[in-house]
Structure 1
Amino acid sequence: MTEKQPAIVYFGSNAYQTHKRGVENVIEMQSQSYSFQRIYYIHWGESTTAYKGGRHYICLSLKNDWFWPVRLNAILFKIKQKQKHLIIHSHNALLSAFLIYRTGILSVHDALYYLDKSKHKRGRLIFYLLEKLLYYRCGRVHFVSRFAMEQSLFGRRTNYSIIPNTSHYEPMSNNGRSWADDIVKKDDFILIVRSIEERAGIDLLIKLAEFSQVDGRTFVVAGKGPLLEYYQEQITQKGLQNIRMLGYVDDQLLLALYAQCALVMVTATYGEGFGMPIIEGYLFNKPVIASNCCAIPEIIISNDFLFDNRVEAMDCAIRFALTNRDNYDFRGYYEHRFSNELMMEAYKLLYNRALK
């Protein structure tokens, strides 16, 4: 191991204090894998301010206006003056694109051009050129799945690592069951943890809830997003009593929901570069069924738990999972492939390579 004790700058999107989900949790796990002299975290904000975050982070919010590229480079210039050995690890492609300095590591959860193309938006050429430029200007690229790499414009370069995600809930996974009692009173509900947006396939879940009314199944959806109110209104209009959309839930309640559910379901239509709820379900030794698309087949324990995005196929997957759950060691699968210990070693190797 190198004798250098570097500092690191992470580029993210959301404020550490107010939004700690997804990428923020991945960054937290990565930052724990190495003995960094200092940790900086830069993200979008309503103003350009500094504050202290978890694990003694120095957090810097960047006001998103016409002058943010100037502010960003000024901030990095000051940091580089203080830190002899500095790694820039980006989870934010836009920040890296406007940085005059070379990004040491770029983490790719979903490739830019692939996402834009999947949404059928205009301006694809801009995203195509931006993604190409990013790979050219990065020292090393970290993909969270082989699918994420294959859908990218990375090409045949060799400066990459594929390191799957792990869960920051691992140390807490044996704690608590009763915190969710005010949400659901029984242990046979199906849990869905998703960002409520187009690619999450929430419309499929609503159709499944309609289909499943005679079976007495209860669906609990945890997560927020731009379409939350839209889907809540859909559920109200249809008079469905067996599906609840909770919106954002804190870590304590989410842990309890994982602990008490019968199984976890992950629906997706596009843009699922990994599928964190899959491994979180396994962490709690729960069966997980999921859409047969994107990176999900790469992460799931067996193809038997995959379904096509049709109500009948989803219903069959639920029946299979509930019937066969005792035949699988879901927690053991998590520990063998996605444990904190395994991923920490992989991240440590990634940072050592970035320092060479």
Structure 2
Amino acid sequence: MKEIVVIHNGITLPEDSDYPLNGKFSFLKERKYLLNIGVLFSKKNQKSLIETLPYLEEDLVLVCSEKKEPYATELMEHISKLGLEQRVHIFSHISEEEKNALLQHCQALCQPSLAEGFGIPPIEAIAFGRPVFLSKCTSLPEIGAEEAFYFDNFQPESMAYTIKEGLTAYNQQPILYFNRLKNRATAFDYRIMAQNYLDLYNRI
């Protein structure tokens, strides 16, 4: 019988430090917000988060490195149609420190992706001890495992229910969840990935 060995990608985990919301992000100090990081693209499914906002109290922050058309334009039109211009905040090409600040202070990271290559933003959020809400239909469950919350479907009311229930659970036992998430993140340290490859090569 052949042995299957899975070695996950590794990243440089964010340093344990305070990352303040300064400059253009200062207004977020007074707001609760959900965070999504990724290209504005249909497979990233940000539209489902837009449609969920009317059922939630939090704002939504979208961080994108690129905008794919026509999806990006459709997304903007949808935001306007729902009257959410003051609750959806879109940023692009931010620095590593700015990204860390957004991650550290968000209520949660939400990635309802329909397809993923791997999923680095959830690892980064988990490294900050922040709750993550993920799609079940991608590689994301390999990252979140039992420490993440998962969307059963992409219907707005159902997604809102999942987010509310997950945040309630987290806020009732924040230290427990924080420590479990931080511990989960260590599995994706690039040094552990390198050691796993070295161990495999030595065995072969």
- With structure 1 as the length reference, what TM-score do the two structures score? 0.48
Structure 2: gaps of 5 or more residues: none
Letter paired with 1:235: I
The residue matched to 2:30 in structure 1 has which SS? Answer: coil
Q: Percent identity?
A: 23
Among 225, 231, 246, the alignment partner of 2:67 is: 225
The answer to whether 1:267 aligns with 2:112 is yes
- Aligned with residue 244 of structure 1, among 83, 89, 93: 89
1:157 to partner: Cα distance: 8.4
Aligned partner (choices 328, 333, 336) of residue 184 of structure 2 = 333
Q: TM-score, normalised by structure 2?
A: 0.80
Shift of 1:191: 0.8
- The alignment status of 1:234 with 2:84, answered yes or no, reads no
SS at match of 1:225: coil
Q: Residue 225 of structure 1 aligns to which amino acid in structure 2?
A: K
Whole-angstrom CA distance in 2 between matches of 1:302 and 1:178? 30
Post-superposition CA distance 1:166-218 (Å, at most 9, x none): 332x2534242233633512362111112211111122111112333xxx311
Separation in 1, partners of 2:136, 2:14:
30
User: Is the contact between residue 50 and residue 79 of structure 2 (CA under 8 Å) also seen in structure 1?
Assistant: yes
More strand by share: 1
- Identify which of 292, 297, 303 aligns with 2:136: 292
In 1, Cα distance between equivalents of 2:58 and 2:31: 11
Which whole-Å CA distance do the structure 2 matches of 1:175 and 1:229 have between them? 35
C-alpha separation in 1, matches of 2:199 and 2:132: 30
| Equivalent pair of 1:187/1:261 in contact (CA under 8 Å) | no
Three-state SS of the structure 1 residue aligned to 2:28 is coil
Q: 2:10, 2:191 within 8 Å by CA — same for their partners in 1? A: no
- The count of corresponding residues between Structure 1 and Structure 2 is 191
Distance (whole Å) between structure 2 residues aligned to residue 187 and residue 279 of structure 1: 24
RCO higher in structure (CA 8 A, sep ≥6): 2
CA contact (8 A) 2:31 2:59 kept: no
- For residues 34 and 120 of structure 2, the distance between their equivalents in structure 1, rounded to whole angstroms, comes to 16
Paired AA for residue 259 in structure 1: Q
User: Cα RMSD (Å) of the superposition?
Assistant: 2.7
**What is the DSSP-based 3-state SS (H/G/I as helix, E as strand, rest coil) of the residue aligned with 2:90?**
strand
Q: Which has the larger radius of gyration?
A: 1
Matched residue type, 2:37? V
State the match for 2:42 in structure 1.
198
- Alignment pair present for 1:178 and 2:29: no
2:134, 2:148 within 8 Å by CA — same for their partners in 1?
Answer: no
Give the aligned partner of residue 54 of structure 2: 210
Give the equivalent residue in structure 2 for 1:4: none
Please state which structure has a larger fraction of its residues in helix: 2
Partners of 2:119 and 2:141 lie apart in 1 by 10
Structure 2 matches for 1:150-165, cutoff 5 A?
A: 162-165=6-9
- Unaligned stretches of 5+ in structure 1? 1-155
